[in-house]
Chain A
Amino acid sequence: MPGLLQLGLLLVALAVVYKPLGDHMAKVYSSEKHWRVEKAVYRVTRVDPGSQQHWKTYASAVLGFSAVSVILLFLLQRLQSLLPLDFGRGPVPVGVAFNTAISFVTNTNWQSYVPESTMGHTVQMVGLTVQNFLSAAVGMAVAVALVRGFTRSGTDRIGNFWVDLVRGTIRVLLPMAFISAIVLVALGVTMSLKSGVDVVNPDGSSSTIALAPTASQEAIKELGTNGGGVFNANSAHPFENPNGWTNLVEIFLIMVIPVSLTRTFGVLAGNRRHGYVLLSVMGAIWGAMLAVIWWAEAHPNGPAALLAGAAMEGKEQRFGIAGSALFANATTGTSTGAVNAMHDSFTGLGGGGTILNMLFGELTPGGVGTGLYSILIMAVIAMFLAGLMVGRTPEYLGKKLGRREVTCAAIAMLAMPTVVLLGAGAALVLPATTGVLNNPGEHGLSEVLYAYASAGNNNGSAFAGITVTSDWFQTTLGLCMLFGRFIPILAVLCLAGSLAAQKTVPRTAGTLPTTGPLFATMLGGTVVLVAALTFIPALALGPIAEALA
Chain B
Amino acid sequence: MTTTETLRHTEPEAAPTANTGRVGAGVFNPRQLLTSLPDALRKLDPRHQARNPVMFVVWVGSLLVTVFAVAEPSGFTIAVAIWLWFTVLFANLAEAVAEGRGKAQAESLRRTKRDTMARRLVEGGEELVSGALLRVGDRVVVEAGEVIPGDGDIVEGIATVDESAITGESAPVIRESGGDRSAVTGGTTVLSDRIVVQIATKPGESFVDRMIALVEGAQRQKTPNEIALTILLSTLTIIFLLAVVALQPMSTYSGSRQSVTVLTALLVCLIPTTIGALLSAIGIAGMDRLVQRNVLATSGRAVEAAGDVSTLLLDKTGTITFGNRRATELFPVGTATAADLAAAARLSSLADGTPEGRSIVELCVAEHGLPAEPTQAERAGESVPFTAQTRMSGIDIGGRQIRKGAASAVRAWVGEQGGVVPDEVHEIVDRIAAEGGTPLVVAEGPVVRGVVRLSDVVKPGMRERFAELRAMGIRTVMITGDNALTAKAIAGQAGVDDFLAEAKPEDKMALIRKEQEGGRLVAMTGDGTNDAPALAQADVGVAMNSGTMAAKEAGNMVDLDSDPTKLIEVVEIGKQLLITRGALTTFSIANDLAKYFAILPAMFAAVYPQLDKLNITHLHSPNSAILSAVIFNALVIVGLIPLALRGVRYRPAGAQALLRRNLLVYGLGGIVTPFAGIWLIDLLVRLLPGM
Contact = CB atoms under 8 A, between A and B. Distances in A.
Interface of A: 381, 384-393, 398, 401-403, 405-407, 410, 413-414, 417-418, 421-422, 424-426, 428-429, 434, 441-442, 444-445, 503-506, 508-513, 516, 518, 521-522, 525, 529-530, 532-538, 540-541, 544-545, 548-549
A403 B655 contact: no
A434 to B, nearest CB: 7
Nearest to B254: A541
A391 B574 contact: yes
Given A390-B655, A535-B243, A385 B574 contact: no
A540 B655 contact: no
B659 A445 contact: no
Interface in B212-245: 224-225, 227-229, 231-232, 234-235, 238-240, 242-245
A538 B253 CA distance: 12
Contact of A425 (B249, B270, B518, B608): B249
A510 B656 CA distance: 9
A508 B520 CA distance: 10
A508 B474 contact: yes
B231 A407 contact: yes
Contacts of B251: 541
Given A392-B575, A545-B610, A413 B235 contact: yes
B445 interface: no
Given A386-B582, A434-B253, A512-B659, A422 B246 contact: yes
A544 B612 CA distance: 11
Interface in B577-618: 578-579, 581-583, 585-586, 589-590, 592-593, 596, 600, 604, 608, 610-611, 613-614
Nearest to A444: B253
Nearest to A510: B473
Contacts of B307: 391-393
Given A391-B578, A428-B253, 19 more contacts: A388-B578, A390-B658, A402-B228, A413-B235, A417-B243, A426-B249, A434-B253, A445-B254, A506-B310, A509-B473, A510-B472, A516-B656, A521-B663, A529-B590, A529-B593, A533-B240, A533-B592, A537-B246, A548-B608
Contacts of B250: 424-425, 428, 445, 537-538, 541
B589 A533 contact: yes
Contacts of A406: 228-229, 231-232
Contacts of B578: 387-388, 391-393
Interface string B238-275: 11101111111111111000000000001000100000
B667 interface: yes
Contacts of B245: 421-422, 425
Contacts of B659: 386, 389-390, 512, 518, 522
B655 A512 contact: yes
Contacts of A534: 239-240, 242-243
B599 to A, nearest CB: 9
A385 B582 contact: yes
B576 interface: yes
B242 A421 contact: yes
A535 B659 CA distance: 28
Contacts of A506: 310, 518-520
Interface residues of B, number: 73
Contacts of A511: 473, 655
B596 A422 contact: no
Given A391-B575, A414-B235, A428-B249, A513 B656 contact: yes
Given A389-B583, A391-B307, A538 B243 contact: yes
B650 interface: yes
A494 B475 CA distance: 33
A529 B576 contact: no
B585 A391 contact: no
Contacts of A536: 596, 600
Nearest to A519: B659
17 contacts: A385-B586, A389-B659, A389-B663, A389-B666, A392-B575, A393-B304, A421-B246, A425-B246, A425-B250, A441-B254, A510-B473, A512-B655, A512-B656, A516-B656, A534-B243, A537-B244, A538-B243
A429 B249 contact: yes
B662 interface: yes
A263 to B, nearest CB: 25
Contact of B308 (A393, A417, A512, A540): A393
Nearest to A533: B592
Interface string B294-327: 0000000000100110100000000000000000
B691 to A, nearest CB: 23
- Among B228, B232, B245, the one with the most A-chain Cβ atoms within 10 Å of its Cβ is B228
Nearest to A413: B235
- Among A387, A410, A442, A538, the one with the most B-chain Cβ atoms within 10 Å of its Cβ is A410
B667 A548 contact: no
Contacts of A398: 519
Contacts of A425: 245-250
Q: Is the interface of B mostly helix, strand, loop or mixed?
A: helix
A548 B600 CA distance: 14
Given A390-B658, A509-B655, A511-B473, A414 B246 contact: no
B574 A541 contact: no
Contacts of A533: 239-240, 243, 270, 589, 592-593, 596
Nearest to A401: B228
B283 to A, nearest CB: 13
Contacts of A403: 224, 227-228, 231
A380 to B, nearest CB: 10
A422 B613 CA distance: 28
B14 to A, nearest CB: 27
Interface string B544-574: 0000000000000000000000000000001
A549 B310 CA distance: 57
- Among A392, A405, A540, the one with the most B-chain Cβ atoms within 10 Å of its Cβ is A392
B334 interface: no
B519 A424 contact: no
Nearest to B584: A388
- Among B245, B310, B596, the one with the most A-chain Cβ atoms within 10 Å of its Cβ is B310
Contacts of A540: 600, 604, 608, 611, 614
B471 interface: yes
A57 B249 CA distance: 41
Contacts of A549: 608, 610
B660 interface: yes
A536 B650 CA distance: 35
A512 B475 CA distance: 16
B475 to A, nearest CB: 7
Given A421-B245, A505-B519, A512-B659, A545 B232 contact: no
A540 B9 CA distance: 53
Given A537-B600, A538-B247, A538-B250, A391 B579 contact: yes
Contacts of B582: 385-390
A506 B520 CA distance: 7
B620 interface: no
B368 to A, nearest CB: 44
Smallest CB-CB A-B distances: 4 pairs: A510-B473, A388-B582, A391-B575, A508-B473
A494 B316 CA distance: 46
Nearest to B657: A390
Contact of A402 (B224, B239, B579, B581): B224
A285 B244 CA distance: 26
Contacts of A387: 578, 582
A508 B308 CA distance: 11
A417 B519 contact: no
B232 A410 contact: yes
B152 to A, nearest CB: 37
A402 B254 CA distance: 42
A321 B593 CA distance: 32
Contacts of B225: 388, 393, 402
Contacts of A522: 659, 663
B654 interface: yes
A442 B256 CA distance: 12
